[in-house]
């Protein structure tokens, strides 16, 4: 038997390679951009064409009736219906405790500041349905949305080969309180929710997990619409000291790996014999997605866990509560031998919509708070404003914003005679600037460059674009050279044409 693979040394190239994931390959970004542009241009017609192309079924419309939801719920297998009822009740119990309450603060006498909760009006939920179906995801998404008070809860899920959304998914939508359902999946569903079509008005925020194309689409539309988090291919990291049976650990690794071919599972063990046993147990069809590593001690394993920032993290060790205090980056943590991630996927009431690909460094598990936003408020009476006037006057003076100062002074003096502005005014060119666009639509670029839209080569995003910038080379048509650099700011875009020349940055 070959020796166990050791956890790479922190800071080494092997360690960085293990920790750094690319949830969206560059070719997926490019393909996704084309799908988004198609839906933007052609709306519902594009949705129907793309559904036929990717799902193999030609629909007359994407909308699914509320009667179909009710019929699916009524016709559901009693055993599954009972399980969904229990899961829904547990999710509601856990998320019902997440209601917002914050006491107002009396900053000084006569000045009060507070925040109030406001639910998003219209939200979009994406429920995967390619390799398998996920009624559990419907509950995890829709119940917090309903508890938050969202008026319109829109769900998109791909149709099966018969042209219908899976019965269990449709039934879960009826159970959880979804108000609008569309039979459409993939990046095209994200585009419809982000930009809107005739049959599907745009939403305020998009939620839900999906494959690399769905994740790429969510990241691409962010800014046009809000998103919950990057929630792509599933992953689990298990840390063990050998105190949990190898068969249990192997079962947890396999459970997450079975989600999809790009799901991944990692075991870091401080017990070499147990790690070797696990490695033998996971041999088979899922073994390519499972990696078994050895570590010198739990301290090193926990340090790796924080760098890896996994979607699911299992502490299959003695004193898991102690080690939990050392964990800073994980989507959902499972403590002890009797806490398989599958229990959280379905039944504990915790949310299984989690950040992936290292995003748990900045994002957390989905909750009620994600379906709304805080609105800040403040009230001042006359005496309170007088107490703050010297503060406003001093800071406004330093920033040369005399109208700010006058808006306070006029309430004390009663005079409506406003003096001239004494601060610097922006140049007209700055006043006329349009909002900066990272990726202007290819149709507009083609129009401005005077070339066919098909000749516009979309940029490679992220680090690929950074390499182009570092190289200092751009290619643009000669007659558009100066304007292209001025308008795009060197956005790593090449516009095809016969008359090109190279231009170095600077």
Q: How far apart are CA 451 and CA 325, in angstroms?
A: 58
Find out whether 203 and 176 touch, Cβ atoms under 8 Å.
no
- Looking at residue 490, what is its pLDDT? 41
CA–CA separation, 68 and 70 (whole Å): 5
Task: Say whether 445 sits in a helix, a strand or coil.
Answer: helix
Q: Is 65 left (phi over 0), alpha (psi -120 to 50) or beta?
A: beta
What string of pLDDT tens digits covers the 506 residues of the chain? 456 899 999 999 999 999 998 768 889 999 999 999 999 999 999 999 999 999 999 999 999 999 999 999 999 999 999 999 999 999 999 999 998 888 999 999 999 999 999 999 999 999 998 778 999 999 999 999 999 999 999 999 999 999 999 999 999 999 999 999 999 999 999 999 999 999 999 999 999 999 889 999 999 999 999 999 999 889 999 999 999 999 999 999 999 999 988 899 999 999 999 999 999 999 988 999 999 999 999 999 999 999 999 999 999 999 999 999 999 999 999 999 999 999 999 999 999 999 999 999 999 999 999 999 999 999 999 999 999 999 999 999 999 999 999 999 999 987 766 777 766 666 666 667 766 555 556 666 666 666 676 665 554 443 344 444 344 444 434 444 344 444 444 443 333 333 333 333 33
Query: What pLDDT, on the 0 to 100 scale, is given for residue 442?
Result: 65
pLDDT the model gives residue 422: 64
H or E element at residue 447: helix 442-449
- The predicted model scores a pTM of 0.81
Structure-token pair, residue 315:
């502490």
Residues 131 and 139: their CA atoms lie apart, in Å, by: 19
Q: For position 92, what pLDDT does the model report? A: 98
Give, in degrees to the nearest 5, the angle at Cα 399 between 393 and 404: 50
Longest distance between any two alpha carbons in the chain, whole Å: 90
Chain centre to alpha carbon of residue 177: 22
| pLDDT at residue 1, as a whole number | 44
User: Residue 93 contacts by C-beta under 8 Å, 6 or more apart in sequence?
Assistant: 349
Q: Give the closest residue to 353 by CA, choosing from 144, 159, 191.
A: 144
pLDDT at 483: 45
DSSP class of 308: H
**C-alpha–C-alpha distance, residues 19 and 447, integer Å:** 42
Provide Rg for the chain, Cα atoms: 27
Coil, helix or strand for 126?
strand
Give yes or no for a contact between 76 and 481, defined as CB atoms under 8 angstroms apart.
no
Q: Mind telling me the catalytic residues?
A: 311-312
Residue 427 is classified by DSSP as -
């Amino acid at each position: 038997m070959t020796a166990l693979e050791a956890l790479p040394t922190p800071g080494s190239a092997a360690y960085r390679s293990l920790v750094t994931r690319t949830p969206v390959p560059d070719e997926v970004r490019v393909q996704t951009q084309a799908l988004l542009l198609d839906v933007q241009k052609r709306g519902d017609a594009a949705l129907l064409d793309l559904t036929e192309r990717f799902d193999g079924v030609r629909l007359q419309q994407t909308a699914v009736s509320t009667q179909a939801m009710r019929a699916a719920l009524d016709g559901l297998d009693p055993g599954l219906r009972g399980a969904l009822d229990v899961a829904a009740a547990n999710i509601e119990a856990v998320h019902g405790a997440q209601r917002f309450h914050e006491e107002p603060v009396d900053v000084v006498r006569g000045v009060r500041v507070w925040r109030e909760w406001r639910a998003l009006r219209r939200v979009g939920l994406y429920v995967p349905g390619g390799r398998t179906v996920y009624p559990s995801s419907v509950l995890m998404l829709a119940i917090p949305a309903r508890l938050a008070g969202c008026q319109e809860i829109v769900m998109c899920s791909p149709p099966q080969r018969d042209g219908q959304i899976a019965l269990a998914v449709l039934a879960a939508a009826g159970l959880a309180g979804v108000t609008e359902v569309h039979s459409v999946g993939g990046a095209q569903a994200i585009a419809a929710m982000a930009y809107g079509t005739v049959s599907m008005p745009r939403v305020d925020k998009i939620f839900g997990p999906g494959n690399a194309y769905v994740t790429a689409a969510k990241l691409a539309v962010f800014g046009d619409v809000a998103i919950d988090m990057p929630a792509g291919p599933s992953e689990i990291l298990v840390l063990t000291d050998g105190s949990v049976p190898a068969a249990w650990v192997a079962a947890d690794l396999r459970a997450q790996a079975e989600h999809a071919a790009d799901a991944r599972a990692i075991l870091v063990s401080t017990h070499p014999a147990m790690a070797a046993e696990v490695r033998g147990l996971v041999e088979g069809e899922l073994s390519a997605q499972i990696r078994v590593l050895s570590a010198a001690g739990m301290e090193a394993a926990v340090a790796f866990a924080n760098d890896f920032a996994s979607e699911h993290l299992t502490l299959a060790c003695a004193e898991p509560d102690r080690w939990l205090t050392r964990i800073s980056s994980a989507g959902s943590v499972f403590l002890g031998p009797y806490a398989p991630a599958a229990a959280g996927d379905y039944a504990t009431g915790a949310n299984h919509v989690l950040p992936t690909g290292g995003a748990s460094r900045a994002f957390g598990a989905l909750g009620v708070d994600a379906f709304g936003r805080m609105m800040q408020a403040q009230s001042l009476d006359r005496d309170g404003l007088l107490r703050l006037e010297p503060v406003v006057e001093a800071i406004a003076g330093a920033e040369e914003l005399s109208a700010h100062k006058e808006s306070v002074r006029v309430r004390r003096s009663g005079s409506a005679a406003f003096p001239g502005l004494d601060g610097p005014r922006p140049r007209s060119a700055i006043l006329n600037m349009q909002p900066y666009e990272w990726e202007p639509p290819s149709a507009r670029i083609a129009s401005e460059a005077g070339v066919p839209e098909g000749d516009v080569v979309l940029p490679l995003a992220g680090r690929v674009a950074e390499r182009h910038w570092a190289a200092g080379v751009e290619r643009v048509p000669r007659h558009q050279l100066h304007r292209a650099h001025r308008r795009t700011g060197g956005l790593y875009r090449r516009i095809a044409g016969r008359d090109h020349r190279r231009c170095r940055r600077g």
